[in-house]
Amino acid sequence: MIVAVASGKGGTGKTTVTASLASLWEGPLIGVDLDVEEPNLHLFLHPILTGEETAHLTIPVVDEATCTYCGACSELCQFKAISVMGRLILTFPEMCHGCGGCLAVCPEKAITPGQRELGEITWGTAGRQGFLMGRLRLGEAMSPPLMRLVKARLEQMLAQSGGDAIIDAPPGVSCPAINAVIDSDVIVLVTEPTPFGFYDFQLAWEAFAPLNKPLGAVINRAGLGTGAIYEFCREKHLPILAEIPYDRAIAEAYARGRIIAQISPELQGTFVSLMAAIRGLAQEAAHA
Amino acid sequence: MSKIAVSSEGPSLDDQVDPRFGRAAGFVVVDPETMVTEYIDNGRSQVMAQGAGIQAAELIARAGVSWVLTGFVGPKAFQALNAAGVQVAQNLEGLTVRQAVERFKSGEVAGAATADRR
């Protein structure tokens, strides 16, 4: 089972929830940080890293001696990463999405594959569990290509170790967020009952519900804000899997890099039952 | 004198200069001697998720003009226009196409060396 921990609004507690679940998960688990623009799961899980690789995207390199400026590549490219202007061909490597279309359509075979560095993928162990993360290169604008390579590595790791994975997803509801949840079996939406939290929670529901995956909510900082989020969950038949109280002790533990499931028996109980609720949600969907 | 292209909100000399280059509604191509115009629609670039400036630069290069008069050209479009040998004059928003062309003809318009605003 792959569990994706996502949110609409940032800062609602995705990493707090992911790290706590990873710390008490029953059976083998790989903790994955797919928030490649600003990974932070490692700050809580303190992994021992055993492997790393530099990730690349295939981009076009044009041999001008062979190019006839026919424009087939330029016509195909939806992102204008390759452009023919009269008897001139330009490439904009940072605009390339790496589809390889230009290489395929060039009738003169004048385009060869080059590389753009996307970032680093690192992996290792955190206690008895596996750990995997991506870190986007500074200046790189696109995170989904790196995320896809991290997920490919996850597939390899899961094939070896078996067990489950928990993904710390990026915030928002655009391509990176969708990319992080699309291959998961269960999506856990972490939110907070503030007006801003509620607004983005609705966006998250709109973005993720059409994926037809089991979906549940974790309400962090419960006690703040209004009851609107609870009404919304009732209306959409969205189960509330756990509530984490609004408590200064939690903020202090987080700020020290501690796993909050470990700071009190009550919180440990909250996350043990959250794990059970997530498993229940997945089983319910499997039998449906 | 060779033709110049002005980013424009509409097809005529009396339309306003569109301050955007890549996502301009279109380009009025003007022969500065005769003031005869043609219009290039830029609607295809306007709807692109990215690369609008480069697409617009392709249209401009194909039209065979030597200057672009506009509000602001982004860095990639600037690079493309530069490579195609098209000179760029910026900061001409707030004028009509005709006024921008007159200003150009009077020699008050300087070519931009980089994509930055002055």
Going through chain B in order, the beta strands assigned E by DSSP cover: 4-8, 26-30, 37-41, 67-69, 87-89
Instruction: Decide if B117 is inside a domain.
Output: no
**Dist. CA A40–CA A272, nearest whole Å:** 23
Whether residue A223 sits in one domain with residue A105 = no
Whether residue A276 sits in one domain with residue A205 = yes
Rounded to the nearest 10 degrees, the angle between the axes of helix A195-208 and helix A228-235 is 20
Nearest CB partner across the interface for A85, out of B48, B52, B57: B57
Instruction: Decide if B68 is inside a domain.
Output: yes
The reported pTM is 0.86
- Host domain of residue A259: 2-55+118-287
pLDDT digits 0-9 by tens, A174-205: 999 999 999 999 999 999 999 999 999 999 99
**Dist. CA A224–CA B52, nearest whole Å:** 44
Whether residue A103 sits in one domain with residue A197 = no
Q: Residue range A101-125: average pLDDT?
A: 97
For residue A84, the distance in angstroms to the closest alpha carbon of chain B comes to 7
Q: Which residues make Cβ contacts (< 8 Å) with residue A219, sequence separation at least 6?
A: A191, A192, A193, A229, A230, A240, A242, A243, A244
**B95: contact with A, CB 8 A cutoff:** no
- Host domain of residue B82: 4-105
For residue A79, the distance in angstroms to the closest alpha carbon of chain B comes to 5
Percent of chain A with pLDDT over 70: 100
Count Cβ atoms below 10 Å from residue A101 Cβ, excluding itself: 17
Whether residue A259 sits in one domain with residue A144 = yes
Number of structural domains in chain B:
1
Q: Decide if A90 and B80 are in contact by the 8 Å CB cutoff.
A: yes
Whether residue A220 sits in one domain with residue A128 = yes
Q: Residue range B94-112: average pLDDT?
A: 93
Whether residue A111 sits in one domain with residue A214 = no
Number of structural domains in chain A:
2
Question: Of A97, A117, A137, which marks where a domain is finished?
Answer: A117
Q: Decide if B58 and A83 are in contact by the 8 Å CB cutoff.
A: yes
pLDDT digits 0-9 by tens, A123-159: 999 999 999 999 999 999 999 999 999 999 999 999 9
Q: Decide if A83 and B57 are in contact by the 8 Å CB cutoff.
A: yes
Q: Which residues make Cβ contacts (< 8 Å) with residue A121, sequence separation at least 6?
A: A52, A53, A54, A55, A132, A133, A134, A135, A146, A149, A150, A153
